[in-house]
Chain A
Amino acid sequence: MVNSYRPTSLQEALNILAKEAVTPYSGGTDLMINPDVNATYLFLAKVPEMNQIVADTEHIRIGAACTFTDIIENELVPSILKEAALQIAAPAIRNLGTVGGNICNGSPKGDSALILFAIDAKLRLVSSRGERVLPITAFYLGRKKTALQADELLVEILMDRKGLNNYYYKKVGARDALAISRVSFAAILNVTDRKILNCITAFGAVSDVIIRRAEIDAMLIGKTIEEAKAAKEEYFAAYDQKIVPIKGRISAEYRKAVCMNLLRDFLKSNGI
């Protein structure tokens, strides 16, 4: 009985996925916690497109089966993602765990997924039927539910090459290493000609899906720093309404308070 496949090309992987119920396996760090003895794994570590980091004119393209160590060590990867990757788990897990797995796991606590929300990354999903590019914000449908179809693979993550330098990132966990985020927050703010060109915030580990509210962030866009200062209480109030944390091991009240503190600190760090 065949109980695994080790394709060496994307086409081969997609053909297998199209005709059989297999479990895509990239790093295995989530799968192996509760290994399914009946699963047939589709090992992705030898699929070239999924294991490389390249740049084209518009994007940095990160293969979904790249490990966090690959990300930390690659010169093309922007600091915002490196900083988050360095705080994931511990070296041995970073050597196996992959960014694609972190996304497809569907958890709102995925530390790299949060960053990809905050930079409006796009996901290239490919099946033997064709391919589509989906904004990561449209990928998550609910707790542990994603838009990935059974015959599709997340092949690459596309990040813009520009505008990612002025970022803010904080992971709040119980300890430095091997910590699952209690609250995580990432944001970008760019100012051009004294006006706020864009403001993106994302809250992880708070709700069923990472929280990203473009319509609230829009309240600050186009304003000067002075104008943003005047508008910030209204901005905080809007978030205060929209952030409804779930209760887990950590109380909803704690999560909410931390979210609002981080949001305030993010603006403060930008002089707002």
Chain B
Amino acid sequence: MMISFILNGQEVASAAKANERLLDILRTEFTRTGVKCGCKEGECGACSVILDGKLVNSCMVAMGYVEGSTVMTIEGYRETERFAALDRAYASVSAVQCGFCIPGMILASECILAKNPKPTEAEIRAGISGNLCRCTGYNAIVKAIGLAAKEGEGLW
């Protein structure tokens, strides 16, 4: 039985087993390698995707759970104006170093701003608290999200 869902705006069907991880299927079957595999236990957030409007760790989602849902990865999100605003903000404060956490971090940023277009610093930090970054020490990322909120006013 095929598992159907919407991936980055397109209807897709996967022959994966219902108990396989969404993370693995996104990376192998759909070659969406912007979804990074860090820990496979929900600790690092590198595999974050937006599932039905909510940030989730794709390593903790079984394919059977995805049937009928909408999944957005960084490959889909980068086509949006909101991404462009975040991209500019991250770049302008040098919030990216090695980049491994960034796809997850950007999707977490989107979920923060979608819920609250004018977040406080504490709200930003809480919003990315499930996304680990080993390079930046977080301050630049927090600053970038605040900046995107300001510069991209009206987008969220």
Question: Is B56 on the interface with A (CB-CB < 8 A)?
Answer: yes
Chain A, residue nearest B63 (CB): A4
Question: Is A58 on the interface with B (CB-CB < 8 A)?
Answer: no
Question: Is A178 on the interface with B (CB-CB < 8 A)?
Answer: yes
Q: Which residues of B contact A69 (CB under 8 A)?
A: 54
Q: Which residues of A contact B127 (CB under 8 A)?
A: 91
- Sorting the interface of chain B by its residue count into under 10, 10 to 19, 20 to 34 or 35 or more gives 20 to 34
* Contact (Cβ within 8 A) A177 B21: no
Q: Which residues of A contact B17 (CB under 8 A)?
A: 3, 37
- Which residue of B40, B65, B130 contacts A90 across the interface (Cβ within 8 Å)? B130
Please choose the segment from A24-32, A111-119, A181-189 that sits at the chain B interface, where 4 or more of its residues have CB less than 8 A away.
A24-32
Question: Is B71 on the interface with A (CB-CB < 8 A)?
Answer: no
- Which residue of A4, A6, A31, A92 contacts B56 across the interface (Cβ within 8 Å)? A92
| Complex CA–CA separation, A2 to B17 (angstroms) | 9
- Which residue of A3, A6, A45, A93 contacts B130 across the interface (Cβ within 8 Å)? A93
Please choose the segment from B25-33, B41-49, B90-98 that sits at the chain A interface, where 4 or more of its residues have CB less than 8 A away.
B41-49
Question: Is A36 on the interface with B (CB-CB < 8 A)?
Answer: yes
Q: Which residues of A contact B62 (CB under 8 A)?
A: 4, 25, 28, 31-32, 35, 41, 43
Q: Which residues of A contact B119 (CB under 8 A)?
A: none
Given the contacts A32-B21, A35-B21, A176-B129, A92 and B42 also touching, CB distance less than 8 Å? yes
| Complex CA–CA separation, A41 to B67 (angstroms) | 13
* Contact (Cβ within 8 A) A41 B55: no
Cβ < 8 Å to A, chain B residues 51-79: 51, 54-57, 59-62, 64-65, 67
Q: Which residues of A contact B111 (CB under 8 A)?
A: 91
Report the count of interface residues on A (CB-CB < 8 A).
29
| Complex CA–CA separation, A130 to B129 (angstroms) | 43
Cβ < 8 Å to B, chain A residues 76-102: 89-93, 95-96
Which 10 pairs across A and B sit closest by C-beta, in order of nearness? A90-B130, A4-B18, A177-B129, A4-B64, A95-B54, A32-B60, A92-B55, A90-B129, A92-B130, A33-B41
- Could you jot down 17 A-B contacts, CB within 8 Å? A3-B18, A4-B18, A32-B21, A35-B21, A35-B62, A37-B19, A41-B18, A43-B62, A90-B130, A91-B126, A92-B45, A92-B130, A93-B57, A93-B60, A95-B51, A177-B129, A178-B42
Interface residues of A (CB under 8 A from B): 2-4, 6, 25, 28-29, 31-33, 35-37, 39-41, 43, 45, 69, 89-93, 95-96, 176-178
Interface residues of B (CB under 8 A from A): 1, 17-21, 40-43, 45, 48, 51, 54-57, 59-62, 64-65, 67, 108, 111, 126-127, 129-131
